[in-house]
Amino acid sequence: MNFFATVMWTATPVLYDFGFFQLTWYGLFFMSGFVFGSFIIAHIYRTEKVAAKWVDALIPYMLFGTVLGARLGHCLFYDWDYYSQHPMEIFFVFPWAGLASHGAIIGILLAIWLFSRRHRFDYLWLLDRMAIVAAVGCACIRLGNLMNSEIIGQPTHVPWAFVFPRATGHLQTPTFPAPPGAVLVQRHLELGGQKLELLSPGQWHTASWQMAVPRHPTQIYESLFCVFLFLLLFGLWKKYQEKTPRGLLFGLFVTLEFSFRVGVEFLKEDQVAFEKSLLLNMGQLLSLPLIALGLWVVLRAGKWRGNPYGYAPREVDSTFMLSSESQPT
């Protein structure tokens, strides 16, 4: 018996329209990553006797680094021809238009480096703990991409395929016979957005109709992999805690996350037109140096002489002081 069936994904990106402001699913999932992450990092700090005040101090760095890095990454890596001519639009982040995950990673690395220098945290110690949080954030963001019907996969016949009628940039000219599960799509522009009308391929239609075919739900693939990464990294931290080899968690996160990214990109549609002429697309090319960095850090994990575990400001006698045993060596 086949327990799977093609999923017709017609979810609207807007959770609620206030008139003057739209609450989107993407925005909700984006911020959920920070909310869940703050609870996780607070638990880690509490367990390792790091002052709770550092959670609130770190969040603005993470939020600013993520949003700014993701926006600049999209503009520089994917659409520089346009934004070089319209530089002011680089700052038009909301409503969550044009963000790139590789840019977000670079922004986060810089934000954590600034935080570490200012507050005397060991850089790799903090990166190890934030890698656990990053896995949760990536899982949430990919669910936001699913709600937007974006970053979709290529056509497929797998029984768990999704049909994305709202992914209007990837609709096809109707064919006969139509692939199983395909639907015909007619867009009607209305005030505040668009309305979709769907038909089965066997029904009468005019030339203005387009066809949505079953595709890989690559957003779900990536989200589930990030859940696996979270469980792996949190499990390793739970085992070692303050004795976690310096760089192990961060190195594993970067290596595994972007190795998976290289693989899953083969199942995705190209995001921008120029990628069609590339052997590897932009997401894969940007992932390769991060994989190399992650492998180097994993091989070095715990081997930094005199500082195998890193350090952070610890609580001493219920005060927020840096203990002598946690001073950098």
How far lies 257's CA from each of 76, 261, 269, in Å? Answer: 22, 6, 19
How far lies 309's CA from each of 88, 195, 329, in Å? Answer: 44, 55, 11
DSSP 242: G
Report how far Cα 230 is from the mean position of its chain's Cα atoms.
13
Give the dihedral sign, CA 234/235/238/243: negative
- Say whether pLDDT at 320 is over 80: no
What is residue 168's predicted lDDT score, i.e. its pLDDT?
Answer: 84
Of the chain, the percentage scoring pLDDT greater than 90 comes to: 55
pLDDT tens, position by position, 273-308: 787 888 889 899 999 999 999 999 999 998 988 889
How far lies 299's CA from each of 158, 233, 245, 294, 328, in Å? Answer: 38, 16, 11, 9, 22
What is the average pLDDT score of the chain? 86
- Say whether pLDDT at 204 is over 70: no
pLDDT tens, position by position, 130-145: 999 999 999 999 999 9
What is residue 189's predicted lDDT score, i.e. its pLDDT?
Answer: 61
Cβ neighbors of 117 (< 8 A, separation 6 or more) are: none
Helix (H, G, I), strand (E, B) or coil at 273: helix
Q: Could you give the CA distance from residue 201 to residue 142 in angstroms, rounded to a whole number?
A: 30
Model confidence, pTM: 0.87
User: From the CB of residue 252, how many other CB atoms can be counted at a distance below 10 Å?
Assistant: 21
The mean pLDDT of 191-197, rounded to a whole number, is 64
Radius of gyration over alpha carbons of the chain, in Å? 23
What is residue 292's predicted lDDT score, i.e. its pLDDT?
Answer: 97
Q: Could you give the CA distance from residue 272 to residue 281 in angstroms, rounded to a whole number?
A: 9
Sorted by where each begins, the domain ranges of the chain are 18-153+222-326, 162-215
Q: Could you give the CA distance from residue 186 to residue 188 in angstroms, rounded to a whole number?
A: 7
Q: Could you tell me how many residues make up the chain?
A: 329
Nearest to 233 by CA among 115, 328, 138, 142: 138
- Say whether pLDDT at 265 is over 60: yes
The token pair at 325 is 């045993």
What confidence tier does 97 reach under pLDDT thresholds 50, 70, 90? low
167, containing H or E segment: none
Q: Could you give the CA distance from residue 15 to residue 229 in angstroms, rounded to a whole number?
A: 28
Nearest to 68 by CA among 111, 128, 25, 118: 111
Evaluate whether 123 touches 112 at the Cβ level (below 8 Å). yes
Give the dihedral sign, CA 47/52/54/59: positive
The per-residue b/e assignment along 123-140, b for 16 or more CB within 10 angstroms, e otherwise, is bbbbbbbbbbbbbbbbbb
196, containing H or E segment: strand 193-199
User: From the CB of residue 305, how many other CB atoms can be counted at a distance below 10 Å?
Assistant: 6
Query: Could you give the angle at the alpha carbon of 134 between the alpha carbons of 70 and 119, nearest 5°?
Result: 90
Query: Could you give the angle at the alpha carbon of 38 between the alpha carbons of 257 and 24, nearest 5°?
Result: 75
